[in-house]
A and B are shown apart, each in its own frame.
Chain A
Amino acid sequence: MEAISEFLKNNDHYLKSCILYEVALKKTIPDSYQTFCDAVGKDAMEYWDFEFWYKRFFEGELDFDYDRSKDPVQKKLMDMPVNLVRKIAEKMDTVERSALRSVNKAIKNVADSFLPIYESISITWRGSNFLMWKYNDNPTIHYGDGKLEKLSNLPGFEVNNLLLRGEGIHPECKRSDVLPVSFLNPKTVDISTRTIDEAIQLLSIVNPGNLESIRLWPVKEDSFSEFFKTEQFKKAKNVEIMSLKGFHKMILSNFSHLKSFKIKLSGDFLEEDFWRIRETISTFENLEKCELRIVNSENQLQIRTVAEAIGAVVPDGPLKIITHRYQIPESNKCLEFKIESGGPHILMKIVRIC
C-alpha cells in the first residue's frame, strides 16, 4: 500500500488523475482533498494547489502540463499589510477571533491585539459538575475539562453578561470551584434554575463588586427572603424577576435601593393599595424607573380604578392607557405613571423625573 502512495506521489500526471477522479465524483473540494490526502499523503500537494487544479478540471481545462509559472502570483492573506489583516479580524466577533489564535503565530498576534471581551457567555450545569456553555448568540454548545480555565487565562478576559442555567444541580456541588475566578465579575447575571435555593447558590458565586444587574427567571418557590439578604442583591442597581406567581404587595420596600426593577405583584388589591404603592415608590431615592405587572386574585383590575386610586384625572369612555404625573411631596421630583391594560393584568410603568 505504501508503495502505491509513493508511486502516485512521484508522478505528477498520476496525482492530477487522482484530482480529476474526484472532480468526476462531484465531491466538494475540502472532501476531495481529504480523500486525496488519505490516499497519497498531505505532503503530496498543498490544499491551494489542489484547489487550483480541481477548479481548472471542473471548468473543463484538462491540460495536465499547464505551466502555472506564467500565471499572476496569487494573493494570500499573509501578503496583506498587518493593518489590513487586523481590520479583517476586527470584523469577527470575539468567539470567531479566538479560532485565529491557533492558526499560526503571526495571526495569533493579530488576534491577541484585541481584548477577549465576551458580551455574554451562557453556562449550564447538568447533574453534578458537568458544564456546557455557549458564546454570545452562537448556538454551538461547548464542553470539556480545562477549556474555560484556558479561556479565562487570556490577558484582559472579561464577560459582561453571565447567563447561569441549572438543571438539577446537586445541592452539595461547589460551583465556585468549577468556574474560573475571572468569570465571576460580570456586570449582569441572568439566572434560570428550578428553585430559588438553586438560584441563590448560583448567584452567590458571582462577585458582588462589579455586578450591576440581576435577572431571575421563574422558579418554583415564592419565598425570596433569602434572596433579598444576599450581598449581590443588596449591591445591585437593576433587578428583574420574571416570577410566575408574583410577589405580595408588601414586598416592595425590599427594592428601595435600586435604580430600576421589574416585578410582578399578585394578590387581593384594594384601591388604597395603589395609593400605598405610589407613596412607597416615591420614597425610593435612587429609583430611575420601575415596572410593575399587577394581577388581582379575585376580579380583573380596571385601569380606571388603578388610575383614580393614584390620583389621576380619568376621562370618560373606554381606556387602554393613561399617563399621570405625581409631584413627590417636599421634593422637586415627579413620578410619571403610565398605566396600561394588558389583558388579565395591569402594567404600571413608573419613571422618576426631575
Chain B
Amino acid sequence: MSSTEQGTSSAAPAEPTTAPESAAAPEVPESFYYVHGKDKVVHKVSAGALQHSALIHGMISNLGYTEEQAKANPFPFENIDGDILQMVVDWCNQHKGKPTPPEDTNLPKQKEKLFDLVLAVNYLEIKELLTYCCKQVAMMVKGKSPEEIREIWMIPTDAEDEAAEKEAKKRAGKEAAGETAAAAGDAK
C-alpha cells in the first residue's frame, strides 16, 4: 500500500453570506422632452425613458434644452402613426431605468400593428423592444407550413411576384410613353 497519502477531508456545510447594502443614489431632477407622430399628438417623455431609443438619446444628449425650449420644440416623427408612437412611449415609460425582462408579452397581437411597430422601433433604434417585436413576429409562424406562413405574413408567391413585376414594368413603360407623347405635344 502506498504511503504517500496526503489527504485532506471536509464535511462542513457552506456558511451563508450577506450582500452589503448598496448606497442610495443622489436624486437628480428629471428632464422631459416632447415627441409627436403623424397625428401631431404631443407626448411628454422623461429623458430617462427616452434613453431606450438610441436615435432620440443621440438627438437630446447635447441639446441642453430648458423645459420651455423642449416644450416648444417637440421631436417630429411624421413617419410613425400616432397609436404606434403611443405604444413606443408607453413601453419606454414602463421600462424606464429597469433591466429589460427576457420576455415581453404586452406587444400587439395583430400583425398590421406589429409590423408598423417593428418599423417604428427599428427607426427609433430601440434595441430591446426590437428584439421582442422580432421574436413576436417569428412566433406568429411557429409550427406553420410554408403556405400558412405565406398567408400570415402576406408574402406573395414567386409567380405573383413575377406577375407584379411585369405589371409594374408595363405601367412604367406606358407612363414613359405617355410622358414622351406629352412632351412631343408641348414641343409642337
Contact = CB atoms under 8 A, between A and B. Distances in A.
Interface residues of B, number: 40
Interface in A285-323: 307, 310-315, 319, 321-323
Interface stretch (B2-10, B55-63, B68-76, B168-176): B2-10
B134 A105 contact: no
A327 B143 CA distance: 55
A76 B156 CA distance: 10
Interface string B144-171: 1110111101111110010000000000
B11 to A, nearest CB: 5
A101 B155 CA distance: 13
Interface in A99-118: 99-107
Nearest to A325: B8
A103 B155 contact: yes
A312 B11 CA distance: 10
B118 A80 contact: yes
A324 B7 contact: yes
Given A99-B146, A103-B146, A324-B9, A275 B119 contact: no
A102 B130 contact: no
Interface in B1-30: 1-2, 4-11
B134 A325 contact: no
B95 interface: no
B155 to A, nearest CB: 6
Contact of A324 (B8, B131, B155): B8
A160 B95 CA distance: 38
Contacts of A30: 148, 151
A88 B134 contact: yes
Contacts of A63: none
Interface of A: 30, 33, 47-48, 72, 74-81, 84, 87-92, 96, 99-107, 140, 275, 279, 307, 310-315, 319, 321-327, 329-330
6 contacts: A76-B154, A78-B155, A87-B134, A92-B141, A103-B149, A311-B7
Interface of B: 1-2, 4-11, 81, 112, 115-116, 118-119, 122, 130-131, 134-135, 137-138, 141-146, 148-151, 153-158, 161
